[in-house]
Amino acid sequence: MEYAFIVLAGTAQHLQRYFETDNLPHAPTIAQLEQTLAPAVLHLLRHDLNRLLNILYRIDVEERQVKQAMLAPTEEDVALQIARITIKRELQKAQTRFIYGAN
């Protein structure tokens, strides 16, 4: 699915706040977001799991999806899967804000 630039930029901005990182691209593609968010997720996965789970709760990622992602064979795969579901959820929220915020 193609997303408007403003939706992608809004998603990146919110993810930067949640993950307290400045390395997310300002004119992102979904692939760029995945590649830059996955290392931040991996760091939290290894060093501060409670904080990662708190972030996922605040973003409102489904627990079922997180549990499924945790079944991946390596920590790197887990981090990438969590990054993907996090981005997907934030895109949904950003798209909703864009659509209903314009009215």
Query: What are the tens digits of pLDDT across the range 68-103?
Result: 999 999 999 999 999 999 999 999 998 888 788 765
Distance CA 62, CA 55 (A): 12
18-32 pLDDT, tens digit each: 998 887 776 678 898
**Predicted model pTM:** 0.88
| Alpha-carbon 82 to chain mean position | 7
Nearest CA to 91 out of 14, 19, 32 is that of: 14
Report residue 50 as tokens: 């409670």
Report residue 43 as tokens: 């760091």
The string of DSSP letters for 42-84 reads: HHHHHH-HHHHHHHHHHHT--HHHHHHHTTSSSHHHHHHHHHH
29-62 pLDDT, tens digit each: 889 899 999 999 999 999 999 999 999 999 999 9
Which residue ranges make up each domain of the chain? 5-101
Distance CA 101, CA 10 (A): 13
pLDDT of residue 75: 97
